[in-house]
A and B are shown apart, each in its own frame.
Chain A
Amino acid sequence: MKRTLTLCKALIINWVRSKSGMFFSFLFPLLLLLVFGSVFGGSQQVRYSLHVLNRDLDSSGNPTNLSEALIEALNSTKSFNLVLAPSNVEPLEYIRNNTNPFSSNVRLLIIPEGFQERVIRGSFKGQIGVMITFMEYSLKSLSGNISSKNKTQIRKGLEEMKSVNQSLPDVKGELTLLVDPSDPNNNIIKGIIYSVVNAFSFKLIGGKEVVTLKTGNYTVKTYTPVDYYLPGYIAAFIMTNGVMGVTSLTTDFKRRGILKRLITTPLTKMEWILANIFSQTILAILLTLVMVFFAWAVFKVTALPGFYSWILIFIGSILFSGLGMVLGGLIKDVEAASAIGNAIAFPMMFLSGSFWPLEIMPTYMQLIAKVLPLTYFSEGLRFTLILGYPQGALLDFVVMGCLAAIFIFLASAVTCWREK
């Protein structure tokens, strides 16, 4: 054990004194957390830009009351940064002139001329329709309390109202939304405008809300995107340190004869493997502490690693340094080892849900994620480090534990302690 710890210490010192090693092991994960956390982790509501071309003007050239009310309703959602276009502009020309490849897409909502008049006429028909329905319902449900004479008069009045309503034209105030089909926010924007328009119509016909939706948090703690990124980044960079770091260290030691020199000392193969695992575990612990402190200092995220988090980090270090030693044992060329390490680590990093939730990925990619060890590492760390619910990480512990055992066995098998 003393030999293992001595070699472990030497490997760590050698690693820590490497500028590139320090950058990719510690500084790069912090920079990523800072950038992603700042971009996606803010509490401010997202606002989409929306251009409005209001052609519904009164005789003096001012916007009509209803068109203005609609614009105010859109503004009150706090979802849009509204930009009013000149009322006499040609829509496509306006879009062309305002399109800038370096800013957001131009979305143009057109309020047509005569909008107010059509809405009033349409809402009048709607209001009469609501009144007919209401009176028919009253007549039916209150028939015992109404005299037969009154009933007859009401029925007569209802017939006349129906006749008038049928004679009224079925008009609507039609809005047009011009969007770029490639705009990824199209559906969100359409949905918000649709809700505003519905509520606007509903109010115009004098309706009252009979169904309401209240929202509330179901946990005591409020989670931010950084709560999601933090365990994902810790897992991802423990993985890259193991897969890429150990692979290149092993191949470099082989190429430069250092491994052969170590083999000729009393150091055993298992001591060599353990020294690598321990050094990666200590680096993983340092990385976790630095990331957790940084997340707390910059984003006020409180995530104190507990017993289960450390166990999972230890298992992760075994698993990925084991994988690194397997690759290092099989590959002779340093450049090839680096390329293969990258080819394994980077896709795994992006497909495993470390950087974004699996739910937003296509189904086939989610299936791929299910066979990647990093998926279980990230998920397990979210349960233990952020949610404080280690029971939820049971599957992650089992999968990672089994894979760690397999990779250590394979590492031992492919690490050649004697030439043929």
Chain B
Amino acid sequence: MITMLAIEVSELVKKYGEVVAVNRISFKVFKGKVFGFLGPNGAGKTTTVEILEGLRQPTSGSVKVLGYNPSRPEEASKLKWKIGILPQDFNALDRLTVKENINLFCALYGNRISAEELIKLVDLGDYKKVRFYKLSGGLKQRVGLAVAMAGDPELVFLDEPTSGLDPRSRRETWKIIEGLKELGKTVFLTTHYMDEAENLSDEITIINKGEIVAHGTPEELIENYGGGKRLIIRGDGEVLNVLLGETGEKPVKVGGEVRVPFNKPSEAVKILEMLSLKGLNYDFEVEKGSIEDVFLKLVGAKITEEGELK
């Protein structure tokens, strides 16, 4: 039977002594999709990923990855040929060049794909003769992405692929991840960056303290937990006073603008008509809710740049 599921996790539990790292989580990942696994540091993301990769044994629950049970050594050995992994803070052999490192991993997978193809995929042509230790963090992550693709995998695990990178390197890494999706690969993306999960993922699962808090497409999550849309209106003092005094919703004044939440488009039109009828000059835009709002609503905290809860 051909299944469309790449990963199926049911009631997964992982304990380290008395500490419960993952508590009865269940989710499914469909083939060819980018699955965002979002949560702060210590939420249980890496533990879950390492169980899926066959690196750790679960305490209980069932896991199927591409039809294999990774907790069984003989099945994990077969699974290794079908998955690619970019671990957190990827490192390679320091004194080998980019090409030599990629060649090494290609050879470990039986040279299914050439190092040159991978170098092209991650746009490292200018650096292929540079030794690994001389690369910046962003370039090292790109080598990691190439290495993750060395076995031409069906499923790629990317564990915090842009953690610690500058904005430009993050954007470049995103492009490569989008390229993987175009190649038809299933991507399991672990991240603590809200924008990364929102921009790249077809589906997002939010995990906190070892438990799944929410699951759905970004749109569904924002729809259900993101607090709808906001009308952002900028104008002189009178405009702001009118808005604060006369709108039925709960406007919030931020600097020289007022944000007015609304659920239906007719509500926004009504507010704008009122301002026009009073002959006031203003300027406006409509802002959607974001995954950050979803997380804030569900967890009651934000995630910092470093991945900590604030």
B-binding residues in A (CB < 8 A): 2-3, 6-7, 10-11, 13-14, 17-18, 256-258, 260-268, 418-420
Which stretch in B27-35, B61-69, B82-90, B228-236 binds the other chain? B82-90
In the complex, residue of chain A having the shortest beta-carbon distance to the beta carbon of B147: A261
Contact A6 B55 (CB under 8 A): no
**Cβ 8 A contact of A419, one of B50, B105, B110, B131:** B50
Contact B55 A264 (CB under 8 A): yes
Contact A418 B108 (CB under 8 A): no
Contact B91 A258 (CB under 8 A): yes
Contact A256 B108 (CB under 8 A): no
> Is the CB of B109 closer than 8 A to any CB of chain A?
yes
Contact A14 B94 (CB under 8 A): yes
Chain A contacts for B77, CB-based, 8 A: 266, 268
In the complex, residue of chain A having the shortest beta-carbon distance to the beta carbon of B92: A258
**Cβ 8 A contact of B109, one of A257, A261, A266:** A266
* A2, A261, A267 interface centre (most CB from chain B within 10 Å): A261
Contact A418 B56 (CB under 8 A): yes
Within 8 A of A (CB), among B122-180: 131, 147, 150-151
Listed by A's residue number, 14 A-B pairs whose Cβ atoms lie within 8 Å are: A3-B108, A13-B96, A257-B89, A258-B93, A261-B91, A261-B147, A262-B108, A263-B55, A264-B80, A265-B109, A266-B80, A266-B108, A266-B110, A418-B73
In the complex, residue of chain B having the shortest beta-carbon distance to the beta carbon of A13: B96
* B105, B150, B151 interface centre (most CB from chain A within 10 Å): B105
Number of A-B contacts (CB under 8 A): 78
Main secondary structure of the interface of B (DSSP, over half): loop
How many interface residues does B have (CB within 8 Å)? 34
> Is the CB of B213 closer than 8 A to any CB of chain A?
no
What's the nearest-Cβ distance from chain A to residue B17, in Å? 11
**Cβ 8 A contact of A14, one of B80, B93, B107:** B93
What's the nearest-Cβ distance from chain B to residue A349, in Å? 27
User: How far is A248 from B128 in the complex, measured between Cα atoms in Å?
Assistant: 27
User: How far is A264 from B150 in the complex, measured between Cα atoms in Å?
Assistant: 12
Contact A419 B55 (CB under 8 A): yes
Chain B contacts for A3, CB-based, 8 A: 107-108
**Cβ 8 A contact of B57, one of A10, A17, A256, A420:** A420
Contact A261 B90 (CB under 8 A): yes
Chain B contacts for A258, CB-based, 8 A: 91-93
Chain B contacts for A18, CB-based, 8 A: 95
User: How far is A13 from B103 in the complex, measured between Cα atoms in Å?
Assistant: 13
Contact B55 A265 (CB under 8 A): no
Chain A contacts for B110, CB-based, 8 A: 266
Within 8 A of A (CB), among B102-127: 104-105, 107-110
What's the nearest-Cβ distance from chain A to residue B14, in Å? 10
User: How far is A6 from B55 in the complex, measured between Cα atoms in Å?
Assistant: 23
What's the nearest-Cβ distance from chain B to residue A70, in Å? 68
In the complex, residue of chain A having the shortest beta-carbon distance to the beta carbon of B89: A257
Known: A17-B95, A418-B55, A418-B57. A257 touches B87 (CB 8 A): yes
In the complex, residue of chain B having the shortest beta-carbon distance to the beta carbon of A261: B87
> Is the CB of B202 closer than 8 A to any CB of chain A?
no
Contact A265 B80 (CB under 8 A): yes
> Is the CB of B100 closer than 8 A to any CB of chain A?
yes
Contact B107 A2 (CB under 8 A): yes
In the complex, residue of chain A having the shortest beta-carbon distance to the beta carbon of B55: A419
Contact A420 B94 (CB under 8 A): no
What's the nearest-Cβ distance from chain B to residue A2, in Å? 7
User: How far is A3 from B104 in the complex, measured between Cα atoms in Å?
Assistant: 9
Known: A14-B96, A261-B90. A419 touches B56 (CB 8 A): yes
Contact B91 A256 (CB under 8 A): yes
What's the nearest-Cβ distance from chain A to residue B253, in Å? 48
* B83, B95, B105 interface centre (most CB from chain A within 10 Å): B95
User: How far is A398 from B92 in the complex, measured between Cα atoms in Å?
Assistant: 39
User: How far is A368 from B179 in the complex, measured between Cα atoms in Å?
Assistant: 63
> Is the CB of B226 closer than 8 A to any CB of chain A?
no
User: How far is A11 from B104 in the complex, measured between Cα atoms in Å?
Assistant: 10
Chain A contacts for B108, CB-based, 8 A: 3, 6-7, 262, 265-267
Chain B contacts for A418, CB-based, 8 A: 54-57, 73, 76
**Cβ 8 A contact of A10, one of B54, B88, B93:** B93
User: How far is A376 from B55 in the complex, measured between Cα atoms in Å?
Assistant: 40
**Cβ 8 A contact of A13, one of B53, B81, B100:** B100
Known: A14-B93, A418-B73. A265 touches B151 (CB 8 A): yes
Given contact pairs A261-B87, A261-B91, A266-B110, a sample of 7 additional A-B residue pairs in the complex whose CB atoms are under 8 Å apart: A6-B104, A10-B100, A10-B104, A264-B53, A264-B87, A265-B105, A265-B109
The 7 A-B pairs of least Cβ separation, nearest first, read A17-B95, A6-B107, A256-B91, A265-B108, A419-B56, A14-B93, A264-B85
User: How far is A10 from B94 in the complex, measured between Cα atoms in Å?
Assistant: 11
User: How far is A418 from B56 in the complex, measured between Cα atoms in Å?
Assistant: 6
What's the nearest-Cβ distance from chain B to residue A171, in Å? 81
User: How far is A240 from B83 in the complex, measured between Cα atoms in Å?
Assistant: 38
Chain B contacts for A10, CB-based, 8 A: 93, 96, 100, 104
What's the nearest-Cβ distance from chain A to residue B16, in Å? 9
User: How far is A7 from B89 in the complex, measured between Cα atoms in Å?
Assistant: 21
**Cβ 8 A contact of B104, one of A7, A17, A420:** A7
User: How far is A256 from B147 in the complex, measured between Cα atoms in Å?
Assistant: 16
Contact A260 B55 (CB under 8 A): yes
What's the nearest-Cβ distance from chain B to residue A393, in Å? 37
Chain A contacts for B90, CB-based, 8 A: 257, 261
User: How far is A216 from B82 in the complex, measured between Cα atoms in Å?
Assistant: 74
In the complex, residue of chain A having the shortest beta-carbon distance to the beta carbon of B88: A257
User: How far is A267 from B106 in the complex, measured between Cα atoms in Å?
Assistant: 12
User: How far is A419 from B71 in the complex, measured between Cα atoms in Å?
Assistant: 11
User: How far is A7 from B104 in the complex, measured between Cα atoms in Å?
Assistant: 7
What's the nearest-Cβ distance from chain A to residue B85, in Å? 5
In the complex, residue of chain A having the shortest beta-carbon distance to the beta carbon of B87: A257
Chain A contacts for B100, CB-based, 8 A: 10, 13
Mark contacts of B176-214 with chain A using CB atoms, 8 A cut-off: 1 yes-contact digit, 0 otherwise: 000000000000000000000000000000000000000
Chain B contacts for A261, CB-based, 8 A: 85, 87, 90-92, 147
Contact A420 B87 (CB under 8 A): no
* A2, A13, A262, A264 interface centre (most CB from chain B within 10 Å): A264
Chain A contacts for B96, CB-based, 8 A: 10, 13-14, 17
Chain B contacts for A263, CB-based, 8 A: 55
User: How far is A14 from B91 in the complex, measured between Cα atoms in Å?
Assistant: 14
Chain A contacts for B92, CB-based, 8 A: 258, 261
Chain B contacts for A2, CB-based, 8 A: 107
What's the nearest-Cβ distance from chain A to residue B161, in Å? 14
Chain A contacts for B147, CB-based, 8 A: 261
